[in-house]
Amino acid sequence: MTNHSDLNWLSTSACGLIGPFAFPFQSTFQRRREGLHTCRSNAHQHLEPLYGQAFFIEAVVPPMKHIRHASLEIVEAVWELFFFSGAEDCSILHAIGANAVWELTRPITPELCPREGTRMHLERVRIRFARRYSEWQMLALKNGRFFPPPRQMELTVNSFGGVQLLLRWSAGYALGDKVWVSQMVADVSSGEPVLARHSRRICEWRLGSDL
């Protein structure tokens, strides 16, 4: 497996493994001369050099409980930058105009985000998410499981008080191939500072047609 882009996570979004939702569930097994073994522990008893290692690798669903918290952390951090401080610093909202979109699977370059402070902040949150994601991948791999990095991480900020992060995986890794959406929305039309607790947070699966 190789690193994806500049981020330290395993493989790419199109790694070749078939996702768990791409076919009906079936018990995995390993074949020996004496017959079939459906349990990893039983198989390791007969192949001692492999003891403690993953005997086979299954494609599994990404750990959505962890991803939910980590994606919301990104959204909250970006919302705080743009709107809690942005309500007092009009140059931030002026810089993004009506809408700003960044693909977080790629580096945030000056061409994508001319404002240096904003660019550094976006880079910090994307790299932190990628490091945590790679840790979940490594833990899964040790247990004979694998899930790929997302093929899309689209962060959107609008000047009306909304931050949204879309996470999309390759076919089969999300039930119905839906998109994971994390949002933080608050009314900042008055121009006064708005606290994070006044915002609405939304985390849910959506169909691509509903975005």
User: Is the model more confident about 95 or about 44?
Assistant: 95
CA–CA separation, 87 and 44 (whole Å):
60
Banded model confidence at residue 31, pLDDT cuts 50, 70, 90:
very low
User: Is the model more confident about 124 or about 187?
Assistant: 124
pTM of the model: 0.80
Length of the chain: 211
Banded model confidence at residue 37, pLDDT cuts 50, 70, 90:
very low
Q: Beta-carbon neighbour count of residue 84 at 10 Å?
A: 16
User: Is the model more confident about 203 or about 49?
Assistant: 203
> Does pLDDT of 131 surpass 90?
yes
Tell me: the pLDDT tens digits for 144-188? 888 999 999 999 988 788 899 999 999 889 888 899 999 999 887
Start-to-end CA span in the chain (Å):
32
Tell me: the pLDDT tens digits for 43-89? 445 545 555 555 567 888 999 999 999 999 999 999 988 887 655 55
Q: Beta-carbon neighbour count of residue 73 at 10 Å?
A: 16
> Does pLDDT of 203 surpass 80?
yes
**Residue 38, Cα to own-chain centre: how many angstroms?**
32
Q: What is the 3-state secondary structure (H, E, C) of 85-130?
A: CCCCCHHHHHHHCCEEEEECCCCCCCCCCCCHHHHHHHHHHHHHHH
Closest among 78, 77, 75, 83 to 159, alpha carbons compared: 83
Q: Beta-carbon neighbour count of residue 172 at 10 Å?
A: 17
Q: What is the mean pLDDT of residues 120-143?
A: 93
Distances (CA, A) of 81 to 37, 88, 101, 155: 54, 11, 15, 14
